[in-house]
Each structure stands twice: as structure tokens, then as C-alpha cells.
Amino acid sequence: MTNILLLRSGDVERNPGPNDNPGSLTELELYLLADGMDSSDFRKVGLALGFSEAQLSRFEKDKLGDSMHATYQMLYEWRKTVRDSEARETLVDTLESIKLVQLADSVQKGQVGDDIPSMTEAEIKRVAEDVKRYLAIDLCQIQADPLNSELLLKFERIFTNLTLMEEDKGTKHKTPLLYGDLLRTEVSGIYPKRLLVEGEGGVGKTTLCAKIAWDWIHGKGYQDFKLVLVVLLREAKDKTVGEIVKSYLPKDNPVTAKKLNKYVLSNPKDVFLVLDGLDEFAVDLNSIQQIALITLNRLFESGTVLITSRQWRSDEIRKNAKLRKVFAFIAVEGFSAENLSSYITKFFHPDTASSEDLNRFISNNDVIRENMAPYPIYTAMLCIMWKEFDGERREAMSKLQTFSQLFNEMIDFLVDHYLSKQMPSCIVEGKLREHRSEIHHHLLQIGHIAFKGLLERRLVFTEEEFQSYPESIDVGCKVGVLTRERKVLPRRDRRNNLISAVQSVQFAHKLFQEYLSGMYLASLYNSDRNEYHWLIAKIITDAREYRYLLYFTSAQQKEVGLNIVSRLTARQRERRHDDNFVVDVAYESQDQTVAKAVADHLSSEYSNTLEITDEMQAHTVSGHIFIMNHRQVVRLRMTSFGLNT
């Protein structure tokens, strides 16, 4: 017998027998009903429920021909028009009236979805083994050095503990959280089913997800779950969890996406969903896309879900009073000083001399130690460059002040390394400059595609999107800012497509996409001023989402940095904006004219008191120091959890 879906919380009880009182009609039932309904019945059901032809056409248009999601959208909109107590009976009567007797019977008995076969224990076990194999290869192998694609390190070889902080509800106070207690953080005395892990770009959120997968694979944690599913939201688009998991399985595993989907939604206590990169998810959370419904606790309610995000997107959850009650909020703060040293030692093993030299270099450089080293991605860059640089370029590293400068140095290094393999050592300097200029041009073209992707919240591209710049994609991959991967299309995408797989292209990290986007956007200031003004105005309206893009753009040239801070301060006069953000942008520009503009704004808008708080990032403190020469500060106030000094 197939499992009977209980209607409360989406849980499953094995063989419960006849269900005479299935209760209120749930969103899970609507979802499974839409998934199981024949596309030819869409208009018939919609008209019977009272929708007009125009409304039904709009549902189809909004979902781009995806009949399942169009049907769910229709059922969801209808559900809002009827009382809870009447919804099931009304839907049953409607389905019977148009002769869809089997569907009506399944709704009446609370057996929606029983037409989709349930997975057997053997199938579940095989899927778990295949998922473990996929995660071990695709997520848990680390390419620590972008210059050596063949050097893949096992996760345990390079993983270093991250600093986790648990947020006390209703306050800004955070307390240290041990990784082992991740699923034991209490909200109002109970363990929550939803965890939101926040952190800045490059601070280690994806690494944390890989750690969870690694521990499950090797029996070191999360053994209460039959499946731990890590989903990279940058690649999710409009896919269901079942379709995503199906893409993890080898071709000889016959389990279908629909069976997987049903298993996940119907067995929430057996599945741990790890959704990485909410800020990289190109879908509106108010949509009826499955992962959006799970994120908003409308599907998979009693299942355990961990979501990672940069803060600008996680605010969509924080600002929802209902969601705040069910989520635990956790911050990833990167490496502590001790763990930083441990990572560097692991990176250089067995070369202890180099690891000791770099540790000493960082400990003696306040800016790098406080602003960059806590971030795993920046530490990895420092390690790579330290390994390859000689004395002169190591000296240049000591002058790094900002994230933008570090990325600029890293990209220069990647370009030089690429040229050293392509060009004979005897080539003259003038010719070398010419080749660097050519590569810079290719990077700007890549930046154009990167920028369009950011606007659409897309980090994965097809090769066809680079067809205007065919050479640029090759150069980007050889330099190391892009990677290629062959992706098998989901079955529903193959119906109208002659090919079964596409070549996808993505950036080594979202920060690389943002840096190259900044290069491109700044270049428009000189080449197409009108286009620049139109685009930057669009970006400024969502400044928090595009924080790093604005950092990197302002760093490209003085006039651009000045234009950006002028726009930010002008907007602040209309709507209260974050002063510290403007200071951060000015600091990234490293230009005294920009610093003076921000200092003048702060002096005219506020008192001459500068307040430094415990919550303030080291980067922001450096920014305030950077503009200090242009600002008359009469009083400096240090605040620590409400105590002034």
C-alpha cells in the first residue's frame, strides 16, 4: 500500500487505514494535486472554480508554459477565496461536477499524491548512496589552488573550523555557538525546524554546508536523517527539490523526480534540506516556486531546513513576524585568529617555513589581520599569492588596504601566470603590456555578462550567452575567473530541446562576478556616460543588495567613486540610509576626494561625535579612520553593549 499523507504538518503515518476526517486542505495537498493533474484538465478545473479565460491565460503566461506551476498558482489563488472549513468539500464537489471523479475521491479521503508511487526502502537506500557519492565529489573536494586544477584536496585535509554566533531573539546580542550544537539551538524552549545562517560574501557559508554534507557522508553527524540534501540555490531556478536530487543521481538510477519529490515532502523527519545561497536565488520568495514555499515555511513545515544567505536577502525573512518565530538566526564570522593560523598551516603543509612566514606577515599587518584574514576566501587568496610571489611582490602585498585591492592584485596575478605559460620568457615588455591590455578587454566583456547576471540574480550561464564574446570565455577559463561544467537538462526541459545537456559557465565565486561587474560598470563612465548613469541609478535603489558591486566599482577610478558616494548621500537625505555603508564605499575607493565628500556629508548632517560600537565591522572602523583627516570629530564614543567609554 502507498503511504497516506496526513494533512497536518505534511507528516506521514505508515498504513493508517481509512481517513474519515482528513481535516483542512493543506498547501502540500494542493501542490501534489497540481503535480498529479493532467495538463489537459487545467482549463476545465479553472473554469469550474470560477476563473475567467483571461485569468487562466495569465497563470499560463506567468509560468511560461509550466502547466504544473500554473495549476498550483490557480489552486493557491482559489484557496484564498474560501473558508478553511469549506475548502475540501467545495473542491471535491467541483471536481465531481466536471467528471474528475478519481481526483475528487483522493481529495475527499486525504489521499492526494497516492497516484505517484512511493519509494521503497531499497530505493531510498540507493538514492542516499548516490547522493553521498555526488556530494563527496562535487561539494567536498576543494581546489585550494586555482592554478592547479588537478590538485583537489579532500575536505578534511583543508577544512578549518569557522566561528559561529547565535543571535538572541529580539536583541543584537550574539553568543558563541559550537558547530556540534547547530541543530540544538533553542527558540522559545524548542528546537526550531528552520535555521538561517547569515554572513558576508566569502565568509564560509558554502564551506559550512560542505561540512554538514561531509559529516553525514562519513557517519560523523546528522545520522538521524536518511537524506541530507545540499542544494546550491544559484543553480535551482524553477526546479523542484525532486528534480534537483534527480540531477545528482547516475543515469542507471531509475527513481523519478516525482517520486523523489513526493518522498521529500511526505517524509520531513527523514530529510535535512540545506539550501545554500538565498541571495543567489533568482526567484521571488512570494512566488509559488517550491523552494520559495519551503523557505517561507509553507511546504515541508515539520522538516529541518538550513538556509544560508548574505544579510540583504535574509531580511526578507527577518521582516516577516510569523517567520521570525520559527527561525533560529546564526551568524558565520569566518576564522578566529587560532583557526586562521590552522588554515594557513594546512594550506602549506608540509612547507612549515612558508606558513610561519605568512602567519607572521598577517599578525604584523593590522589591516590585513582585521579586515581580510577572517574571511576564508581572502585568506585563500593571500596563501596562493604568498606561495607564488617573490620578495618584491610580497612587499606589495603588505600595502593592501581593501577588498578591491586584494581582488585587483589576485586578478593581476592570475593574468601574469596565464601569460607566463603562453608567452616566451624573452618577450619584450611592450609586447607583454599589449597582451595584458587584450586580456583586460576580455575581462571587461566577461564583466558585461557578469553584470547582466547580477541584475537577474543569476550566477550560472550558458555558453550561448557568451556567443558575442567567444574568445573571452576561453580566456576567462584559462585565467581562472570562469569555470565550465557540462549540465544534464531535467527531463521536462528535454521535451522541447534536441540536446540533453548544456555547457554551463560560472564564476569561481560570486565575489569574482561582482568584481568584474564593477570593472565593466566603471568603464561605462568613460565609454558611455548615459548608460552608466542609467545603470548606477538602478543599482543605488537596491544598494544593500549590491554592496560589493558598489565597493568594487568605486575603487576603479576617483570620478566613479565620487559619483557613487554623492548618489548614496543624496538618497540618504530622502530616505534614512546607513552611514557606515557610505563610509565603507569611500574606504574601498581609497581616494581622498571621495573621503572628503563623505566627511563633509557626515559633518553637515550630524554632530561631530563619532561612535564606534561592538557590532561595527573592522572594515567600517578602518573607513572612519580613513576619512578622519577630513572630519572634525570633537567627541569619540566607544559603545560596548550599551556601555559608553
Q: What is the pLDDT of residues 495-541, one digit of tens each?
A: 555 555 678 999 989 999 999 999 999 999 999 999 999 999 999 99
Topology of the domain comprising 4-109 = Death Domain, Fas (1.10.533)
Q: What is the pLDDT of residue 615?
A: 79
Q: What is the pLDDT of residue 238?
A: 85
Res. 392: pLDDT tops 50: yes
Res. 14: pLDDT tops 80: no
What's the whole-number mean pLDDT along residues 209-220?
A: 97
Res. 11: pLDDT tops 50: no
- What spatial distance separates the first Cα and last Cα of the chain, rounded to whole Å? 70
Q: What is the pLDDT of residue 13?
A: 38
Least trusted range by pLDDT, from 306-320, 361-375, 475-489: 475-489
- Residue 185 confidence class, pLDDT cut points 50, 70, 90: confident
Residue indicated by cell numbers 540531477: 247
- Residue 24 confidence class, pLDDT cut points 50, 70, 90: confident
Residue indicated by cell numbers 487505514: 17
Mean pLDDT estimate for the chain: 88
Closest residue by Cα to residue 409 from 384, 376, 444, 437: 384
Question: How far apart are alpha carbons 645 and 639 in whole angstroms?
Answer: 7
Question: How far apart are alpha carbons 309 and 320 in whole angstroms?
Answer: 16
Closest residue by Cα to residue 204 from 383, 333, 380: 333
Q: What is the pLDDT of residue 573?
A: 62
User: What is the value of pTM for the model shown?
Assistant: 0.86
> Which 3-state string (H, E, C) describes 275-340?
EECHHHCCCCCCCCCHHHHHHCCCCCCCCEEEEEECHHHHHHHHCCHHHHHHEEEEEECCCCHHHH
Residue 579 or 341, more confident: 341
Res. 434: pLDDT tops 80: yes
Least trusted range by pLDDT, from 277-281, 299-303, 456-460, 613-617: 613-617
Classify residue 105 as left (phi > 0), alpha (psi -120 to 50) or beta. alpha
Res. 3: pLDDT tops 50: no
What's the whole-number mean pLDDT along residues 445-473?
A: 93
CB 444 within 8 A of CB 519: yes
Cα–Cα–Cα angle for 413, 416, 417, nearest 5°?
Answer: 85
Res. 18: pLDDT tops 50: no
Q: Which amino acid is at 98?
A: I
Cell numbers for 36, please give them.
498529479
Res. 27: pLDDT tops 60: yes
- Residue 432 confidence class, pLDDT cut points 50, 70, 90: confident
Q: What is the pLDDT of residues 579-631, one digit of tens each?
A: 899 999 999 999 999 999 999 988 876 667 787 887 788 999 999 999 988 98
- Report CA torsion sign: 108, 113, 115, 117: negative
Residue 228 or 147, more confident: 228
CB 363 within 8 A of CB 369: yes
Residue 125 or 630, more confident: 125
For residue 31, how many other CB atoms are within 10 A of its CB?
A: 27
Q: Which amino acid is at 32?
A: L
What's the whole-number mean pLDDT along residues 295-316?
A: 95
CB 36 within 8 A of CB 114: no
* Helix-helix angle 53-62:67-79, to 10 degrees: 130
Q: What is the pLDDT of residue 287?
A: 86
What's the whole-number mean pLDDT along residues 445-470?
A: 93
Cell numbers for 248, please give them.
545528482
Q: What is the DSSP string of 155-183?
A: HHHH-----EEEEPTTSS-EEEE-GGGGG
- Residue 130 confidence class, pLDDT cut points 50, 70, 90: very high
Question: How far apart are alpha carbons 386 and 365 in whole angstroms?
Answer: 14
**Is the CATH code 3.40.50.300 the one for domain 121-332?**
yes
Q: What is the pLDDT of residue 614?
A: 78
Q: What is the pLDDT of residue 165?
A: 93
Judged on CB neighbours under 10 Å (0-12, 13-18, 19+), 580 is: middle
Closest residue by Cα to residue 414 from 147, 143, 144: 147
The domain spans of the chain are: 4-109, 121-332, 402-533, 557-644
Q: What is the pLDDT of residue 382?
A: 94
What's the whole-number mean pLDDT along residues 175-187?
A: 86
Q: What is the pLDDT of residues 534-569, one digit of tens each?
A: 999 999 999 999 999 999 999 999 999 999 999 999
